[in-house]
Amino acid sequence: MSVNTAGSDGRIQPARPGDPSRIGPYRIIGRLGAGGMGTVHAGLTPSGQRVAVKVIHPAQAEDPEFRARFRREVHLSARVQGPCLVPLLAADPEADEPWLATAYAPGPTVNQHVAGHGPLIGGTLYAFATGTAQAMAAIHLAGVVHRDVKPQNVILTPAGPRVLDFGIARAADGTSVTRTGVTTGTPGWISPEYYRTGTAGPEGDMFAWGALVAYAATGRLPFGSGAPDVVAFRVLSEEPDLEGVPAELRKILERALAKDPSDRISAAAAETACAELLASQATLLVEGDRRLEPTRVGDLLTAEWNMPTLDDPTWHAPSTSPRRRTLATVLVAAAAVGGLAGAALALPGGGDSDGGDSDGPGRTRPVRSATGAAPEATSADTAVREDGTADEAEAAPTGATADLPADPRAAVVPADPLAGVPDPAFTRAGESAEPNSDEWRASTAAASPEERTAEKAIRDQMASILATKDMDFMTPTVTFNRRAQTVMVTGGPVSQIPEDHQEMFRRAGDVAACSALAVRLKNSPTTWPYGRFVVSWKNFDGDLEPNILGFGEATDGCYSLIAGQWRGDESGLAAAGIPSGDKDEIRVADAADKAITAAWNDRIAEGHGLDPFAAGITIDLGFDPVEKAAYVWARDTDGALIGRAQQSHFQDVAATTVCQELRAEYTSNRAWNYTRWTAALYEANSRVPQLLASGTCSP
């Protein structure tokens, strides 16, 4: 793409009418530039990492040949990792408007810096030569040829040089595949062999690298400027102009600019030679030891690199309140097969709190994680008896909603769907063998109408859960292995995905697959063969051994209960801490936050010896869409909640006030299905929470 990810100062331009607010997982906050092939947007990850998101124009995307090249180059570029490169983070070559995202590289391009400040000198020049040679070595090691090395494709960031568009520029400007009448590369940076035969291999990259370093050192194009045919003649028949290049560096560049590609220095050799010059410049090279470890090369490069730190206030997201809302979108679970429209809602009579410890016997389904341990709760809803029936108190609320159609929130997922079935089609219940990669590879797409219905139920319910955290870009693939009687739910690849995102995918896949299979087993026990499920994650396209995140069976319940009662856990708390912005949830959280503060102040006024929240206590509120639970947690930096009495007051205030808000919303909003709560505490600077109490709100 003929556009850079940063301008001379890397500042963001305002978004224009029609620009997207989100591309993939990235929030778009402006533009970085635009060109004939598309637009580069400034984006932020959920954690605040700055990214450059390049979107191809629809006119280019409609060209099947272009899209095929773009897809191939994205796949190649995903393999390239190394120093002084701008890594590919994510891409969607199949989108209506294909896009790719790279880490943002702040700073001017080489040509911009040379035009404004002159050539590079001293240690910075040697660091530039070393870093760009390192980048070329990494590209070639991955089996990729850049084919467009030039000053416009190298950014001088405060941390070092960064080579752009390795494998991407080729696709974006239509030069990734040599075709009749099409020149690959830019005049002045094209190798002699390409002019002669159209060959563009690693040796051609090194020719362009030599010209690049020469330009950075002198401010002049080594083969001059002018008409393309004139420049081509000089490249083929004349020696480069290297006047002013330091003598030792000049020897390396002469080898890179040799007319015969077989005489040229390789990227790895150039990296070593330039690193030795860099070490000599820094006077750090130990006599007799001419080999430098990569880590030491990186230290030397950083020490000698001299570029100003840049900042752009427009990148900074608005500061959050000390009581940040960690909020999620609230969506009703999508309808599953055989009448599954959601999971069972329990609003049992009695108090709001179950109380008690978070450990104990009675889990109805210890779904195993990839490590073999029983993981966190995986149900989106509350207690269902092991015989698959619901208590009378679990019926949909009466009163204002009694005359409405059946509430989908009251649908029941059977805990033991094959109870009393003498000859079920699913015969592998209770097997201890963990599903393996061979079974995953042997799985196939849904073929029968029943399989397609189950696939849709799983995908829809996962989408509804993941969307609450703006993670619905993690679209699952659902496949079936009839022989293994197992359904495979697979995600990825998504580059550099945070661990909490992958854990959300596992939990969503676990509850969606279990719920869909349990209902199908209950409705068609003698014909439906699938009762096991696996949630996996691919690390790259073509990955034949994806990571198994979790697996389980739908025959032993889809809920995690302790002694028949729901309990919150650290996984749910972590999910509640992932931000989102649904308007209903923001409203409920804001009301609950104010109610908790008011109730706490009332307790203070009653003389219980409590400290106000502003005095060392920070309160956060968030929602876990898998367990359908609200979490309230306190960060106690001054020990104000260290005593048993103080903690008892906090959990009582949390239970009472949160349940008031959840009940009110449940009654008025049929899309609202949060009925549970957990109170937690982080003492001082501890990262390990103390789960104080959990419960299900009574009607």
Is 39 exposed, middle or buried (CB count within 10 Å of its CB: 0-12, 13-18, 19+)? Answer: buried
- The structural domains of the chain, with segments of one domain joined by +, span 106-313, 337-349+361-564, 575-696
- pLDDT value for 159: 85
Distance of CA 642 to the CA centre of its chain: 37
- pLDDT value for 480: 96
Name the catalytic one among 63, 92, 148, 263: 148
The answer to whether 148 is a known catalytic residue is: yes
Beta strands in 152-225 (DSSP E): 154-157, 160-163
Question: Residue 594: how many CB atoms within 10 A of its CB?
Answer: 12
- pLDDT value for 241: 93
DSSP symbol at 13: B
Residue 542, sorted as left (phi over 0), alpha (psi -120 to 50) or beta, turns out to be left
Superfamily of domain 106-313: Transferase(Phosphotransferase) domain 1 (1.10.510.10)
In whole angstroms, give the CA distance from residue 114 to residue 123: 16
DSSP letters of 461-506?
HHHHHHHTTT-TTS--EEEEETTTTEEEEEE---TT--HHHHHHHH
CB 467 within 8 A of CB 329: yes
- pLDDT value for 683: 77
- pLDDT value for 418: 92
Q: Round to the nearest angstrom and report the end-to-end CA distance of the chain.
A: 59
- pLDDT value for 488: 96
- pLDDT value for 430: 82
The rounded average pLDDT for each run of 10 residues, N- to C-terminus, in the chain (699 residues) is: 41 81 89 80 84 88 83 78 85 89 88 91 93 92 86 90 65 35 60 84 93 95 85 90 95 95 95 89 48 57 74 50 30 28 29 36 30 32 31 32 50 84 91 83 94 95 89 91 95 78 92 94 95 91 86 82 78 85 79 85 78 68 89 76 78 89 91 89 76 84
DSSP letters of 205-272?
HHHHHHHHHHHHHHSS-TT--S-HHHHHHHHHHS----TTS-HHHHHHHHHHT-SSGGGSPPHHHHHH
